Structure 1
Amino acid sequence: MTSIAISKPALGENAWLRFAVRRGGRLLVSVWVLLTAAFGMIHLIPGDPVRAALGPTASAQVVGARRAALGLDDPLWQQYFHYLGNLFSGKLGVSMSSGLPVSQIISERLPATLEIAVYSFLLALAVAIPVGAGMAVLTRGGRHRHAELAFTSASVVLAAIPEFLIAVGLVFVFGVTLGWAPVAGRTGPESYLLPVLALALGPAAVLARIVRVEMLTVLRADYIRTARAKRLPARLVYLRHALPNALTATLTLGGLLLSALVAGTVLVENVFAWPGLGSTIVQSILAKDYPVVQGIVLVYGLGVLLVNLAVDVALALLDPRSTIRES
């Protein structure tokens, strides 16, 4: 008897092209909305940023001259197109407090923020994937109920605590009480420990729960039963067959958590006096330095959009049929 293998047709180039066009179109619309919202921020926030920058003792003539130099007396539509033109030419404006270009301020502070965000994300993955998968193997089939209850309770509590409260607790315990790590500044490798932990603990707890649920679903699948029936080593069943199929949802949520991590740096940086964008934007808001606030908001927004795009592309590569057809 001759067996005939029927393979599913591969996705053609047209499907990938449509996927790229749709994703690119959504990205452009999202970027336009972000730019428009950042522009409107200066006009919606109460108060006069020029008066705030020059101080209450500045004369009306000086304030008026400064407003004219910044183009704030022009019609709103003219300011909008001037703003877009400057952005496309790489100009983000000048800080009202320091007089430095906003692009220079962002380029000096961005690396510090990216470092703790990326390190926290990698730490969350490194903890969540083995812990979640291990708990799924340990508690599958209703076994070890006490371990399941302890894991669920701990993960829920950690996920519910805001990052800045975790940061304050870490400062008190490991910085002030035990003196194991510095509590302020970016002074060396040891100064990364507490900020990274403060950002990573909550996302690690969420991801570990997702990994466990997805792993339990995969372990009940027919192909896992088949692999066990072939008496494959347990390590091979779990690592080669089960774990890769359980990570699709984890990748999706992981991308969203990376976006949240970047936003979470705002509060954590202020707890640890970390010289990044988070502490800079808070200082700029207090000083009403709106060009700097505007530029940092753009950076955060573009970062979130690019992370979401990267997640969509990664999912399309891992599971092209369902992802491209649903998009």
Structure 2
Amino acid sequence: PRTSFLLRRLGRLAISLIVVVLASFLLMHLVPGDPVRAVLGPDATPELVASTRAELGLDTPVTQQFVDYIGGLLRGDFGLSIQTQRPVSEIIAQRFPATITLGAGAFVVAMIGALPIGIAAAVSSRTGRHRARDITVSSFLGVLIAIPNFLLAVGLIALFAVQLGWLPAAGWGSVHEAVLPVLTLSLGPMAYLARIVQVEMVAVLGMTYMTTARSKRLPARLFYLRHALPNIVTATLTVGGLVLSGLTAGTVLIETVFAIPGMGRSLVSAVSAKDYPVVQGAVIVYALIVLGVNLIVDLILITIDPRSSITEG
């Protein structure tokens, strides 16, 4: 079952990747405007524009360009940037570490914060002794989930960088410079995961076997960590995988706001300049990250609970 499950997942990953490659190629070529003219400027001579277009392979039909692009991808060649004439793979390799560090850091912070907050909220709401506090916590989590990242970024910059002067407002390369971007990217997912943990924990605490475990008068730490927490792992991992995928895509906005030299910032710049190869290369890498994360989460889930390979469609 595990082998067939893995083969099905790999097949879906391949199909999804093919769709992403095709969609990114077609969408970029449907954008109006001439990328060569955008790079060379309005004063470039027609001869220079024509020679540059021929050099980049943009003077051939779109179908031929697509065939050439696919052939390059199969060789690991993402093409050359229209703006800088540098290999796209080189640009991605240079920008990738900042993006993956930002996304992974935000995910770790979100998970570390969500578990204790969710468990504490579940225990409190189940006892019903602190209703006002429960409403306050739920409302605060709801606000964090709903608030847009760019607005949260502005608020954090205004408070911690402008008013208090504790942290830099932009930049990348030190722990201090990473705090605000990571917080901005992680607070919303942390609140969302905390709500999921809370709902799952409340359901688990109501189970008969949990009542039996509680009757043994185990220490609270042992009761929650050994008996309750393992029973919410599946749901938390499932949602956590989706959150991590969203965090990776969310780095595009955060990198732009905080001037982080990552793939997201390069992607925004490339879209503005109609730099087809950079946009397509960045989109493919983002898709690989998202699809890879989902595959890893599925493999972890099937290892923890083999029944998931049976119920999976």
Which TM-score bucket, shorter chain as reference? Answer: over 0.9
Q: 1:287 to 1:326 in 2, by over 3 A?
A: closer
Determine the structure 1 residue equivalent to 2:293: 307
| Alpha-carbon contact 1:214-1:247 (below 8 Å) kept | no
Determine the structure 1 residue equivalent to 2:169: 183
Q: Displacement of 1:35 after TM fit?
A: 1.1
| Alpha-carbon contact 1:195-1:268 (below 8 Å) kept | yes
The one-character-per-residue Cα deviations of 1:204-225 (angstroms, maximum 9, x if unpaired) are 0000011000000000011101
Give the 5 Å matches for 1:85-234.
Answer: 85-234=71-220
Classify the secondary structure of the residue corresponding to 2:307: helix
Is 1:324 the counterpart of 2:310? The answer is yes
Classify the secondary structure of the residue corresponding to 1:320: coil
| Alpha-carbon contact 2:96-2:263 (below 8 Å) kept | yes
The one-character-per-residue Cα deviations of 1:134-176 (angstroms, maximum 9, x if unpaired) are 1111221433211210111000001101111111111111001
Classify the secondary structure of the residue corresponding to 2:176: helix
Determine the structure 1 residue equivalent to 2:30: 44
The one-character-per-residue Cα deviations of 1:254-313 (angstroms, maximum 9, x if unpaired) are 111111111111111111111111111112222222221121111111111111111111
Amino acid aligned to 2:136: A
Residue ranges of structure 2 left out of the alignment (5+ in a row): none
Determine the structure 2 residue equivalent to 1:80: 66
Determine the structure 2 residue equivalent to 1:267: 253
Is 1:24 the counterpart of 2:28? The answer is no
Determine the structure 1 residue equivalent to 2:228: 242
Moved more, 63-72 or 131-140: 63-72
Determine the structure 2 residue equivalent to 1:5: none
Distance 1:287 1:43 in 2: 13
From 34, 38, 41, the equivalent of 1:55 is: 41
- How does the TM-score come out when normalised to structure 1? 0.92
Distance 1:262 1:325 in 2: 28
| Alpha-carbon contact 1:255-1:308 (below 8 Å) kept | yes
Q: Displacement of 1:322 after TM fit?
A: 3.2
Distance 2:22 2:194 in 1: 37
Classify the secondary structure of the residue corresponding to 2:96: helix
Classify the secondary structure of the residue corresponding to 1:185: coil
- How does the TM-score come out when normalised to structure 2? 0.96
Moved more, 27-36 or 76-85: 76-85
| Alpha-carbon contact 1:139-1:147 (below 8 Å) kept | no
Amino acid aligned to 1:197: L
The one-character-per-residue Cα deviations of 1:183-229 (angstroms, maximum 9, x if unpaired) are 11114221111111100110000000110000000000111012123
Is 1:276 the counterpart of 2:276? The answer is no
Aligned residues between the structures: 313
| Alpha-carbon contact 1:41-1:294 (below 8 Å) kept | no
Residue ranges of structure 1 left out of the alignment (5+ in a row): 1-14
* % same residue: 54
Distance 2:5 2:85 in 1: 44
Q: Where do 4+ consecutive residues of structure 1 move more than 4 Å?
A: none
Classify the secondary structure of the residue corresponding to 1:58: coil
| Alpha-carbon contact 2:17-2:284 (below 8 Å) kept | no
Distance 2:125 2:178 in 1: 35
Moved more, 308-317 or 209-218: 308-317
| Alpha-carbon contact 1:211-1:247 (below 8 Å) kept | no
| Alpha-carbon contact 1:136-1:215 (below 8 Å) kept | yes
Distance 2:134 2:161 in 1: 32
| Alpha-carbon contact 2:167-2:177 (below 8 Å) kept | yes
Which has the higher Rg, Structure 1 or Structure 2?
A: 1
